Copies of this chain bind each other. A is one copy, B any other.
Amino acid sequence: MQKQKRLILVTNDDGYQARGFAAAVELAREFGDVIAVAPATPQSGRSQAITFGEPLYLDKRHEEEGLEIYSFTGTPVDCVKIAFDHLLLDRKVDLVISGINHGSNAAINVLYSGTMGAAIEGSFYGIPAVGLSLTDHSPDADFTAAKEYGRRIVQSVLESEREDHGPLCLNVNVPDIPLVEIRGLRICRQCRGLWREEFFPRETPNGRRYFWLTGAFNNYEPDAPETDEWALRNGYVAVVPVQIDMTAYDYMPYLERILK
């Protein structure tokens, strides 16, 4: 009996021209046919944003046996939606890969990240989703290690029997060090911390003031070895399973008491 070929959806937030996207497409092709839909322009920091009230354009950028690449003028989440709810309406998708992101999405960044917004959205559709990020922002980052660990993780996820603890979505961050120096992977929890922003005021040529947002991450628990930030700083690939139920159950008894 011939096994049906797998189908992988690839997306990202840096846009369809990013090198990390090409790396994710190459990685995905090792596992089956690939439909890739990425934003037409960079959409970093777009979180789980969706677009309504604006028309969106879909363009096929490349087609060959087993691969189609599209750009879409919306957010990363819009890309996932147009893939599932338009392009792939009659096809079974086996996995979503979002990335490979140029830059870390560890800790609180999971909430701001367009890469992870797309991965979370993918997991809503009942299939596993893997967000892959490399802790190097540069356009010419070296994706060798991220691809190798991405490959191992994708293979394990595709070949393992599922357990139903809700949608399976992984936030995978790879440290920016040579593959041989990586000490392995760690299953982690999201590190606590906050971006403390600095706003740099400037002036336009005609004297109007504007601001650039910049910031630095304050790690509230730098010594906690169970966190993704610790893993990355100590040479490990950090894998955090991500949930979509945002309910803070611990707060419920308190609220029952103070609000009723």
| Residue positions of A touching B, CB distance < 8 A | 42, 44-53, 55-58, 74, 77-78, 81-82, 85-86, 108, 110-112, 114, 117, 120, 124-125, 152-153, 156-157, 160, 163, 165-166, 168-171, 184-185, 187, 189-190, 192, 194, 196-199, 202, 208-215, 239-252, 254-256, 258-260
Check A213–B74 contact: CB distance below 8 A.
yes
A-B contact pairs, 16 of them (CB 8 A): A44-B53, A45-B52, A47-B47, A49-B114, A52-B214, A55-B202, A57-B208, A78-B213, A85-B215, A124-B194, A185-B259, A187-B252, A239-B255, A239-B259, A243-B250, A246-B246
Check A111–B48 contact: CB distance below 8 A.
yes
Check A255–B187 contact: CB distance below 8 A.
yes
Check A49–B49 contact: CB distance below 8 A.
yes
Q: Knowing A197-B85, A199-B82 touch, does A254 contact B163 (C-beta < 8 A)?
A: yes
